Structure 1
Amino acid sequence: MSRYVEDKESKREASNDAWLFSIKEGRWSPVTYAPGDVPRVRLAAQAVVVDRHLWVIAGWDPGHKRDGGEILSDIWRLDLSTYQWTQIKPQGEELPAISRFQAVGLGSKVYIHTHRSLQDILVLDVSDVDAPSLSLQPLTSEDDPPMGLHSLTAAADGRMFLFGGAPKEGPMLGDLWSLTVKGGTGGGAWAELDPDGKAPHVRCSQAVAAVGTDIFFVGGSYYKVEGGLQPLNDLFVLDTKQLQWQYPRVAPGAGPSPRNAATVTAVGGKLVLYGGWNPFVETYNDTFVMDVSGYAALRDKVPLEPEEED
């Protein structure tokens, strides 16, 4: 759900459906929801799985053509055993209307980062699935990365890593931050990082997934004055243990075309990449699977030269 779909006449609209992908069979199947209310259609939302529940947070309902739509502030829970949707009103803070933000699950908490956050991060505690709470957790660092369309990913050691994105004004970003949070109201701190190796091209809306201490990045786009958004289809890795950018050699074969706003999920040592968008040209409905189970032990990690920014 929470994606663009196109019909044969190339009419693009948002959806609220859900699908399951079988890696073994290599095919998708639709999910039939249990009777009851379901979330409204939306884009630029976040969906996080914690145990046997999928939490869908806010986003943007684009509405009808040229009416601007609506930025949302709702939270929904999908029971992955019964496919029953439940709208949740958490205790504590009210969720602001947000889109183009990031959310990541750690333990029984979902951390929500938005460019509207200054010196804090939103924490959705879902340890009690029927009575979750939302709070603002203060951060002690002097700087907070104020961007949207970035990625926020949790590595195996519990640290979160934020990369790239687009600020409200100015060029796109290629900086990297880590965030370590503490329990309760103990806060946490951002730290800007400078990994070894050639830094990737600046970008936003990249697809990202963690496998152990490695974080895999695929595609995204950057802005070019003459030509607008330029999609990418490169693959690079942040080794969070060595703090190093790496550019693995990819076996020859048909890979994804340049795109942004795709999704990538790590399952059993495999990356599953789905869909995405060539900005204002085409929305994709293809799926790619890459086996990365042996990457951590592979020493042939060749630092390639990234593209130069125009």
Structure 2
Amino acid sequence: MDSELVARERSGHTAVVEGDLLHVWGGYLSIADEEVFLPNNEIWVYDLERGAWEVFPMSGEVPPSMSGTCGCSLNGHLYIFGGCDHNGQTNEIYCVNLTDGKYTWRKIRHEIGSPPSPRDKLSCWVYNESIIYFGGYGRKLLTNVDRRNRSFIVDEASWMEDVLWGWNNEVHVFDAVKSCWSEPQTHGRAPAPRAAHASAAVGCRGYVCGGRVMETRTSDIHCLDFQTWTWSEIIPVSASPVGRSWHTLTAVSDGGLFLFGGLSVECKPMSDGWLLDVETKNWREVEHPYKNKPRLWHTASPGKDSDVIVFGGSCDSILLVDTGHCNDALVFQTQPYPLFRICEDFIAMNLMNCETLRDQLHLLPPKLLTAVQTRMSFYRPSKKQRY
């Protein structure tokens, strides 16, 4: 494998972690003031232990090249729904097995129910073999829009004859076992319709944070109980992050959510990181080594030992400039590492500069020796790409 191979810069892509591998698909970048979709028939895989990229061809019922799709991992498969391609928003769903090495796409035909209307910049949660989708920006036929129903807010600037575009706060469920769609009746006060928000699930609850609500960006937090389908709003007891969109929210513990980046109300790219304790309702800003790396429309995936792996995104205001797309993987440590991880990293990091460590390497327990030998390539001095 070419150790210097690196995935192309991109924003609005999909990324999930399966085992020690980060899988990246789709998205777009800017070339000569034009938005160019990345190839749809390839998937980039980053080995988080060795720090090396590899690219694989994809076959089967390949989805169109697009950005803003909603992706998640379920039972070793990547599922994507929605997104925006050259023809506008879509409401199709595809999946691909990430574990068999074949990377063959399959377009899913539902047996029961109706899919959500075409949309992008939505979010989802995985719960009990189902994928629960929330919100997004997209189009509906005029005949399907009830202006008295506040689940869909029309973007007045985009009204075209019998088609309306706008933001929604709908909840749709896709049962991956039965291949069927349903729209549960929710209770409580739902979040305002929005897109480019962030979400994460902890146990039987899904959390929504911020996003673009019509012409503003918010920092509100809402919780949906998947067992009762009841919405509730979380009112923080401490200082909160500023309003933003195109940020990420990642579950890092049984009661902790990690927020990173986004585009602020003032259209400023953000690089701050925050931890929310959902039980105490307390936000806490956290120090991290990437304060000089603002990101928006990036992806964030949970890794081992409560790590959060952020990939790609833009480092400038894509509404105004849209040139600073990124391709680095940033790993955020949100919890203390276990002793084995500390030992593994320390030895691998210092092996080349310590003769004593090199001479005693063979004395390590087999499991630790194997881990160190794999991890050594990550800290190889000649590597250009690090995080």
TM-score normalised by length of structure 2: 0.66
For residue 233 of structure 1, what is the aligned residue in structure 2? 271
* Other structure's SS at 1:31 match: strand
For residue 125 of structure 1, what is the aligned residue in structure 2? 175
* Code of the aligned partner of 1:55: Y
* Other structure's SS at 2:207 match: strand
* Code of the aligned partner of 2:296: N
Mapped to 1, the partners of 2:92 and 2:298 lie a distance apart of: 23
For residue 302 of structure 1, what is the aligned residue in structure 2? none
Mapped to 2, the partners of 1:221 and 1:147 lie a distance apart of: 15
Q: Deviations along 1:181-235, whole A, 9 cap, x unmatched?
A: 22xxxx51111111221011000010221111211111000233xxxx2110100
Among 156, 159, 162, the residue aligned to 2:208: 162
For residue 206 of structure 1, what is the aligned residue in structure 2? 247
Mapped to 2, the partners of 1:243 and 1:268 lie a distance apart of: 25
For residue 294 of structure 1, what is the aligned residue in structure 2? 336
Cα drift, residue 262 of structure 1: 0.8
For residue 102 of structure 1, what is the aligned residue in structure 2? 123
For residue 6 of structure 2, what is the aligned residue in structure 1? none
Q: Deviations along 1:55-79, whole A, 9 cap, x unmatched?
A: 1101101x2xxxxx41111100101
Q: CA RMSD in A?
A: 2.2
Mapped to 1, the partners of 2:128 and 2:335 lie a distance apart of: 23
For residue 36 of structure 1, what is the aligned residue in structure 2? 60
Cα drift, residue 110 of structure 1: 0.3
Mapped to 2, the partners of 1:51 and 1:106 lie a distance apart of: 11
Mapped to 2, the partners of 1:268 and 1:112 lie a distance apart of: 25
For residue 225 of structure 2, what is the aligned residue in structure 1? 180
Q: Is the 8 A contact 1:120 1:139 kept in 2?
A: no
Cα drift, residue 272 of structure 1: 1.1
Among 8, 20, 36, the residue aligned to 1:13: 36
Mapped to 2, the partners of 1:242 and 1:28 lie a distance apart of: 40
Equivalences for 1:239-254 in 2 at 5 Å? 239-250=277-288, 253-254=289-290
- Unaligned runs of 5+ residues in structure 2 are 1-24, 138-149, 152-168, 338-387
Larger Rg: 2
For residue 141 of structure 1, what is the aligned residue in structure 2? 188
Distance of aligned partners of 1:255 and 1:29 in 2 relative to their CA distance in 1, 3 Å threshold: farther
Mapped to 1, the partners of 2:334 and 2:129 lie a distance apart of: 27
| Residue 153 (1) aligns with residue 200 (2) | yes
Q: Deviations along 1:124-148, whole A, 9 cap, x unmatched?
A: 111x2xx411100110114443111
Among 296, 301, 312, the residue aligned to 1:275: 312
Cα drift, residue 31 of structure 1: 2.5
Among 221, 225, 235, the residue aligned to 2:263: 221
TM-score normalised by length of structure 1: 0.81
Cα drift, residue 243 of structure 1: 1.9
Higher RCO (C-alpha under 8 Å, 6+ residues apart): 2
* Code of the aligned partner of 1:74: E
More helix by share: 2
More strand by share: 1
Cα drift, residue 97 of structure 1: 0.7
Mapped to 2, the partners of 1:201 and 1:93 lie a distance apart of: 39
Cα drift, residue 36 of structure 1: 2.3
* Other structure's SS at 2:119 match: coil
Mapped to 2, the partners of 1:254 and 1:248 lie a distance apart of: 11
Q: Is the 8 A contact 1:208 1:263 kept in 2?
A: no
Q: Between the two proteins, what is the percent identity of the paired residues? A: 19
Mapped to 1, the partners of 2:286 and 2:324 lie a distance apart of: 28
Cα drift, residue 259 of structure 1: 2.1
- Unaligned runs of 5+ residues in structure 1 are 64-68, 296-310
Cα drift, residue 153 of structure 1: 0.7
* Code of the aligned partner of 1:19: W
* Code of the aligned partner of 1:139: T
Q: Is the 8 A contact 2:123 2:136 kept in 1?
A: no
* Other structure's SS at 2:126 match: strand
Among 227, 234, 237, the residue aligned to 1:196: 237
Q: Deviations along 1:66-107, whole A, 9 cap, x unmatched?
A: xxx411111001012231111001122322111111112112
